[in-house]
Chains A and B, each alone.
Chain A
Amino acid sequence: MIVLFTIRTALLATLLLVVPGTWIAWLLARRDWRGKSIVETLVALPLVMPPVATGLILLKTFGRHGPLAFLDVVFTWRGVVAAMSVMAFPLYVRSARIAFEQVSRRYEEIARTLGARESRVFFTITVPLAMRGLIGGAVLAFARALGEFGATVLVAGNIPGRTATLSTSIYNYVQLGQDDAAMRLLGISVVIAFAAVWTSELLLPRRHA
């Protein structure tokens, strides 16, 4: 139950971030524009800020008096997805950007001389050649989403049966002294995380490759 809920929300969070994440990663890798370094920094922020602080920003954005209150996110499964998405976003953008940077511009230039428009170059040359890195980044983001705790607790709470995830449930069980249940979830977490990171390691481009 908890495991399925966590996998489902993490999957949804990953799907939600892939399109904007790919777009921003491509803009960072391939275009020069005013404000690029600011966006670069903003995108990396959730990686280094305390997750609880990021959660507080989300709470103020989606909360009762926030600008996005109408989305009814706080203390629902949508809050879990929002927290996971924001926290995993930088990992995906980082991987996708490196994947795009490793695609030689020569292929894109030749495609243009063959009459291809920019959108065609992107979908038939750039994305297929970066695909391994994009999938690797998505798997890494999924793994990060699975383990999300700090931001999730603030935005979605830790409501058993409604918004409790693997991480927040482990915390619950430890608080209640139910170590057996906590250890069971711990085992499951390790297996999922191992599989996800291992997959992404296989897919992500490496320096010496």
Chain B
Amino acid sequence: MKLRLAVTLALPAFTLEADVDIDSSAIGLFGPSGSGKTTLLEIIAGIQAPDRARIAIDGREIAHLPARERRIGYVPQDDTLFPHMSVRGNVLYGAEALDAEVLKTLEIESLLDRTVAKLSGGERRRVAIARALLAKPALLLLDEPLSGLDNARASLIIEMLQRIETPILFVSHNRDEIAALCDATIVLDHGVTSYGDPRS
């Protein structure tokens, strides 16, 4: 996937200036806390409005589109599962039918009829990823998808993410996680982007 970003947004502490031109199907977005990673994801998803933005995925310009037309999957750090729906209701929200492949990869077939409140942290994360994937996004944004999970559960999710075909942009402040999953890295520091080597 070719991702082209030219984003500017003045924030209270600094100005976010992302300038990225990258070709990869698993991109890590690395940076310390408060460096603007989540803000950048939400600008790409169409949730936050930037001062200026050009966002192109494989040449398709999406910055002028409302969130619902962007085809960007977004899994926020807090999962934001709809609390009044079952797991099935959640994963079907953006989809017309269940996709057995996705359910199998994320191992949530047996969770479908549960209420959201009864899920563990790892299960919630997997359901949120499945919900985003079933809407068939052109790009999946993952904000710290391994935070709060123990090592076993985190490596399980890494394995699952390695198996999905949708391109991902994966946010983490942990270099090891990015090295395990990504073949290209963007470093964000105080709102300014640069390229990094995922294995350094």
Contacts of B148 in A (CB 8 A): none
Residue from B71, B72, B83, B93 in contact with A116 in the complex, judged by beta carbons closer than 8 Å:
B93
Chain B interface, DSSP helix/strand/loop, else mixed: loop
Contacts of B82 in A (CB 8 A): 107, 110-111, 125
- Interface contact B68-A109, CB-CB below 8 Å: no
- Interface contact B68-A112, CB-CB below 8 Å: yes
Q: Given the interface contacts A106-B76, A128-B84, does A113 sit within 8 Å of B93 by beta carbon?
A: no
B135 an interface residue at 8 Å Cβ cutoff?
yes
Residue from B74, B83, B84 in contact with A113 in the complex, judged by beta carbons closer than 8 Å:
B74
Chain B interface size, under 10 / 10 to 19 / 20 to 34 / 35 or more: 20 to 34
Q: How many residues of A contact B (CB 8 A)?
A: 16
Residue from A111, A117, A128, A129 in contact with B93 in the complex, judged by beta carbons closer than 8 Å:
A111
Contacts of B131 in A (CB 8 A): 114
- Interface contact B70-A113, CB-CB below 8 Å: yes
A115 an interface residue at 8 Å Cβ cutoff?
yes
- Interface contact B68-A115, CB-CB below 8 Å: yes
Q: Given the interface contacts A114-B94, A115-B135, A116-B93, does A109 sit within 8 Å of B84 by beta carbon?
A: no
Chain A interface, DSSP helix/strand/loop, else mixed: helix
- Alpha-carbon separation in the docked complex, A116 to B94 (Å): 7
B78 an interface residue at 8 Å Cβ cutoff?
yes
User: What's the A-B contact tally at a CB cutoff of 8 Å?
Assistant: 52
- Alpha-carbon separation in the docked complex, A129 to B74 (Å): 21
- Interface contact A106-B132, CB-CB below 8 Å: no
**Which residue of A is nearest B42, CB measured?**
A109
Q: Given the interface contacts A106-B76, A109-B47, A112-B46, does A129 sit within 8 Å of B83 by beta carbon?
A: yes
Contacts of B135 in A (CB 8 A): 113-115
- Interface contact B94-A107, CB-CB below 8 Å: no
CB distance from B96 to the nearest CB of A (A): 10
- Alpha-carbon separation in the docked complex, A110 to B71 (Å): 12
- Interface contact B73-A113, CB-CB below 8 Å: yes
List, sorted by A's number, 24 A–B pairs whose CB atoms are closer than 8 Å: A106-B76, A107-B80, A109-B45, A109-B67, A110-B74, A110-B76, A111-B93, A112-B46, A112-B66, A112-B67, A112-B68, A113-B47, A113-B70, A113-B72, A113-B74, A114-B93, A114-B94, A115-B69, A115-B94, A116-B68, A116-B93, A125-B82, A129-B83, A129-B84
Instruction: List the interface of chain A (C-beta within 8 A of B).
Output: 104, 106-107, 109-117, 124-125, 128-129
